[in-house]
Chains A and B, each alone.
Chain A
Amino acid sequence: MDTLATSPSDVAVEPDRIRAIPQGKVGVWWFLASEIMIFGGLIGSFILIRLAHGGWHAEADHVHWRIGALNTLVLLTSSLTMAWACDAVKERDQRALKTFLFLTMLLGLTFLGIKAFEYSWEISDGFTPATNLFFAFYFTLTGLHACHVLGGIVANTLLWLCAVRGRRWPMIQHRVEFAGLYWHFVDIVWIFLFPLVYLS
């Protein structure tokens, strides 16, 4: 006979499993949940207003999808290097951690550099947030995302400095994982922004 009913001892195990999740990790996931609501609200508004205004196809033709695709490649690659940094910290490989955190920072800066170049190109062509509703959304969504990338670069730089100095190793271990969660979230936001703004 199958024993599907949970015994009192099974029930007691569940709160212990929840307690086993590091508090910092739960905190980061709550923070990411609030970020989902921020970006979700903006993306939802963009989709609804875009549909209400017939799709904004003429306006969307002015954004450079090739640059957007290049930036997607850069950010996806930075997610790989961040995942490698998390692997390195688990195996206590300090040299690999330094290398991959540095590469992640570098790729983040590359993303921002390409974005800045793209903005300057669009603004010199006369497309600013005041041009029309599409560009108001475009600059808000991509600008907010770029601010988040900058935040991730700052966090990774601080962790990289700790790794270079070789101090506070136990503290770094968890924080690299938390910074990784944030960095991958920023990547996921771009994964949706790219088709929404550049390809649709």
Chain B
Amino acid sequence: MPELDENLRAARRADFRVWEYLLLLLVAGLVVFAAPIPKMGIVALIFAAAVAKAGLVVRNYMHLRHEHLLLYLIAFVPVLLFVGLTLTLLPDIALRQ
């Protein structure tokens, strides 16, 4: 039983550490938002922080790092499709002017 408690405590500590990193990235995003730097730089840094946050949640809270390749494929194929389709349409729709 004490071993179980120790396992649970260790898991909670690890989850809490991830939450601290998430909080740090949120604050970093807000600092960048208020910083006197060019708009494109702000957008790039804020989205880099968002990708890092999503990565932390997927890896640690959704435990994808311990999962089979099949689950990776199920999750990442739609992400690749969405990113690919958006980039493909970018010249036609967004960069027309």
Q: Which residues of A are interface residues toward B (Cβ below 8 A)? A: 17-18, 20-21, 25-26, 29-30, 32-34, 36-37, 40-41, 43-44, 47-49, 51-52, 65, 69, 72-73, 76-77, 79-80, 82-84, 87-88, 90-91, 93, 96, 180-181, 184-185, 187-188, 191-192, 194-195, 199-200
Per-residue A-contact encoding for B19-63, CB less than 8 Å = 1, 0 else = 100110010011001000000001100110110011001101110
- Give every chain B residue within 8 A of A181 (Cβ-Cβ): 62
Q: Are B19 and A191 interface neighbours, CB within 8 A?
A: no
Interface of A is mostly: helix
Q: Are A36 and B71 interface neighbours, CB within 8 A?
A: no
- Can you list 5 contacts pairing A with B, beta carbon distance less than 8 Å? A40-B79, A76-B26, A79-B19, A83-B61, A91-B11
- Our pick among B71, B82, B86, B90 for the contact of A21 (Cβ within 8 Å) is B71
Q: Are B19 and A40 interface neighbours, CB within 8 A?
A: no
Which residue in chain B gives the minimum CB-CB distance to A55?
B39
- Our pick among A33, A37, A48, A91 for the contact of B86 (Cβ within 8 Å) is A48
Min CB gap B29→A, angstroms:
7
Q: Are A187 and B57 interface neighbours, CB within 8 A?
A: yes
- Our pick among A36, A96, A191 for the contact of B57 (Cβ within 8 Å) is A191
Which residue in chain B gives the minimum CB-CB distance to A187?
B57
Per-residue A-contact encoding for B69-97, CB less than 8 Å = 1, 0 else = 01100110111011001100110011111
**Bound Cα distance A33, B82 (Å):** 11
- Give every chain B residue within 8 A of A180 (Cβ-Cβ): 61-62
Q: Are A51 and B94 interface neighbours, CB within 8 A?
A: yes
- Our pick among A80, A96, A185, A188 for the contact of B15 (Cβ within 8 Å) is A80
**Bound Cα distance A83, B11 (Å):** 9
Given contacts A21-B71, A36-B82, 4 further A-B contacts (CB under 8 A): A36-B75, A36-B78, A37-B81, A191-B57
- Our pick among A29, A73, A76, A184 for the contact of B74 (Cβ within 8 Å) is A29
Min CB gap A22→B, angstroms:
11
Which residue in chain A gives the minimum CB-CB distance to B15?
A83
Q: Are A184 and B61 interface neighbours, CB within 8 A?
A: yes
- Give every chain B residue within 8 A of A194 (Cβ-Cβ): 50
